[in-house]
Amino acid sequence: MSVASGLQFAIEIHPPGWMFPAGKSWIGGWLFAGRDRLVTDLRAWIDGRAFLAIHGLPKPALDPQLLGRAGPPYAGFVLLLEPHRGASLLRLEYRDTTGGWTEFFRTPIRAAEDAPGCPPPRPLAATLADAVPALLKLHAQRLGQPLDGLADEIVSATLATPLDSLPVPPFQGALEEPKETGWLRYGRLSVNGWLAHRTARITRITALADAVQESTLRSGLPRPDIAELFPDLPRVAQSEFRGHVDLPATHSAPALVKVFAELDNGEKHLAFAQRFTPRVIAGADSPLPPFSRRTFARAAWALLRSARRHGLPRGSAGELLAALRHAWAAYRAEAPAPVRHRSVPGAPAPSGATPRPLRALVATHNLNFEGAPWFIFELARYLAAQPGASVRVISPQDGPMRDVFERAGMPVEVVDVSSALTAETPAAFHSALARAFRPDWSQIDLLVANTMVAFWAVLAARAAGKPSLLYVHESSPVRRFFRPLLPAPLFPLVEDAFRAATHVVFTADSSRLVFDYLNARDHFRLLPSWVDAARVDAFATAHVAADLRRKHGLDPRAVLLVNIGSVCERKGQHIYVRTAELLRDELRHTYPDRPVQFVMVGARPGPYLDILRSEVELHGLDNVVFLPETGEIFDFYLLADVFVCTSFEESFPRVLLESAAFARPIVSTNVNGIAEMLGADEAWLTPPGDRYRLAEAIKLALAAHFAGDRTKAARARESVLRRYRQDASLPGHLALAQRAAAGD
């Protein structure tokens, strides 16, 4: 065992005298990098060959001693090595959360004379198409670090031999997801398969994809197809497991997922280990740097230099050229354009002329009780209140906001544009849209489209020769956002709508930057959002929090952590539930006389809600409450003790504006426009997808709550009301609408 700078390790399994016989040999041991440093990967080098370990394995007699508690993180690791004839040096390295590798052990070795010779490595050309974008992302992620060093990380990863693991009898099963590629949605990796044991009963199955966030999977689910294949295998008919594990999008590749099975005799076994390449299909991703031929060329040359340093053959000139062309095409298609507009105009100056009455058609993507429909409702109501003005509303989806609009005097029509949105070609889209959407354009001065999902309305307005405003609340690039929603040939039409709109309006500059490459006519505008402070204060004066708790069936004694927003993956309620699990016992111990409850307002039927409810049931979480979507949202600001936002993506969320106006203490992810709204002295801010950081922020907010410290809440209210009062913001939106309608 060695101890240095908090690092402790032991190599417990190895060939005697480090003399390796021909064939494969196991090395095993444990590594503890210290309580403030996590091991995220481990590998061995035999001369110039790399071998990846299965790391993070439980050491029941050791983990509690090292950590002062049971893991994870777990300290154990194993490697399966096959030294080549003439091998002379073995080195072990670990990687930590910074992404850097650190050597912690080296020893001379010998290999048997009849060991196989050193296998030739794959040429760089075989991996270059993937290596270039991987290096470009790493370069964007770690600005300031030398490109050659980053290239060495990428090349050494391509050299490494992965170690996977399948069930060992008496276990039998298959891991069906992930395989070589693992798809991430908002920090979650799907894990599923089936597993049975011939002599014992499996009581629990867990999975781990990073160092610390171990998740319990649902197990014992029906699997009739496997029962037909293995009729003699006990309990195989109820052998399916499925669930999700957390994995940051910035996790280095290849990642490792481990699945553990616990038996009725108390033993915990590794059932599966699978190396995979993470691919983000939704949520935060490591971005490519802005498009630049020079940056691409520098990355390619850095990889070529690294290949030379590692003794890696390049491949033929033709193979290299083909790989570079493939990498270039992917980079050109996916890299964001360089930022052209460092700043954009806000509201126009008032014109001297008296504006004519405005006739507006508002197209919103749906009529649910969500932030974007409420935003456009308040804007539409303000436009309609102007002298002689009229506002009508259209939406492809009906919902409870329809009644809200109509009670305010704005008629609503539901239009079916599904035939256009499922068209396979732009020509078919335009033809289908012309048939499905035929308003009387002679009665319309201005089209106002709400969210980029309503892009179709902007294109219809252009075809009719009418001006339009496109309000964008999204912060995800067009092609990634619409990948699950539209046929790929329609993606350019969404981008065309950005160019076609008279003005594209953002309330957050971070969102505007995502789409800056589409600002072809300097027609983007940045206008502040708003909060109705007078309405907030009137509501707070007229209502009592205890009465509202009784109204909604909430414990009047409990400390309520309230999360408001449609229950969906983007809002990150799965992280909220896992934080509730993480904190349950600690909060009971810290505050024995006051239950702390995690309340989610915005539950809507669907698979995601079913998953959340299953996790709550699985872990026996009596501190989690789900409440449906509601139009009485002010009730929940007033009855909350702490407001919590767990979103992975937000542009400029009104729930934070309103919770600040109600002077609620705020815990929030620090994503997109939230950083423009609130600072660290006004809220407890955390990165998205990290339940441990979220838990720490919640504990700090609770400590302030119990101490009667309202400092951050007061600062947030003062800041929000100073910058985003309704009576100061809405006139700017009106002026832009009037100027656009007038053709100015």
The answer to whether residue 340 is domain-embedded is no
Same domain? 310 vs 444: no
Tens digits of per-residue pLDDT, 631-676? Answer: 899 999 999 999 999 999 888 999 999 999 999 999 999 988 899 9
Last residue of a domain, one of 88, 119, 150: 119
pLDDT for 321 beyond 50: yes
Residues 321 and 380 reside in one and the same domain: no
Same domain, 412 and 431: yes
| Chain centroid to CA 411 | 37
DSSP per residue, 478-514: HHHHHTTTS-GGGHHHHHHHHHHSSEEEES-HHHHHH
The reply to whether 567 and 451 lie within a common domain is: no
pLDDT at 1: 40
Together in a domain, 97 and 36: yes
Are 242 and 376 within one domain? no
pLDDT value, residue 3: 42
Residue at 658 is within a domain = yes
Structure token pair of residue 82: 């096959």
Residues 488 and 84: their CA atoms lie apart, in Å, by 48
Total structural domains in the chain? 4
Does residue 482 sit in the same domain as residue 574? no
**CA 410 from centroid of its chain's CA atoms:** 37
Helical ranges in 310-454 per DSSP H:
317-334, 371-384, 401-407, 418-421, 426-436
Closest CA to 548 of 638, 486, 653: 638
Cα–Cα nearest to 221, from 198, 195, 199, 197 = 195
Residue 115 shares a structural domain with residue 160: no
pLDDT tens digits, one per residue of 706-739: 999 999 999 999 999 999 999 999 999 999 999 9
Q: Give the C-alpha distances (Å, rounded to integers) separating 660 from 308, 537, 632, 709.
A: 57, 12, 17, 15
> Residue 599 is part of which domain span?
535-724
CATH number for position 393:
3.40.50.2000
Q: What is the mean pLDDT of the chain?
A: 92
Maximum Cα interatomic distance, the chain, rounded to a whole number of Å: 95
| Any domain includes 337 | no
Could you tell me if residue 2 is inside a domain? yes
* 1: CATH: 2.60.40.650
Taking only the tens place, the pLDDT of each residue in 158-215 is: 888 999 999 999 999 999 999 998 888 888 899 999 999 999 999 999 999 988 888 8
Tell whether 349 is covered by a domain.
Answer: no
Do 173 and 310 fall within a single domain? yes
Q: Counting Cβ atoms within 10 Å, is residue 71 exposed (0-12), middle (13-18) or buried (19+)?
A: buried
Q: Is 678 part of a structural domain of the chain?
A: yes
Least confident of 161-165, 334-338, 407-411: 334-338
Domain assignment present for 385: yes
- Same domain assignment for residues 368 and 384: yes
Domain presence at residue 218? yes
pLDDT of amino acid 249: 63
| Mean per-residue pLDDT, 687-700 | 91
| Statement to judge: residues 557 and 653 lie in one domain | yes
Q: Same structural domain for residues 100 and 138?
A: no
Of 283, 312, 328, which one is at a domain's C-terminal end?
Answer: 328
> Residue with structure tokens 């890696």?
312
Q: Which residue has 């400590």 as its token pair? A: 703
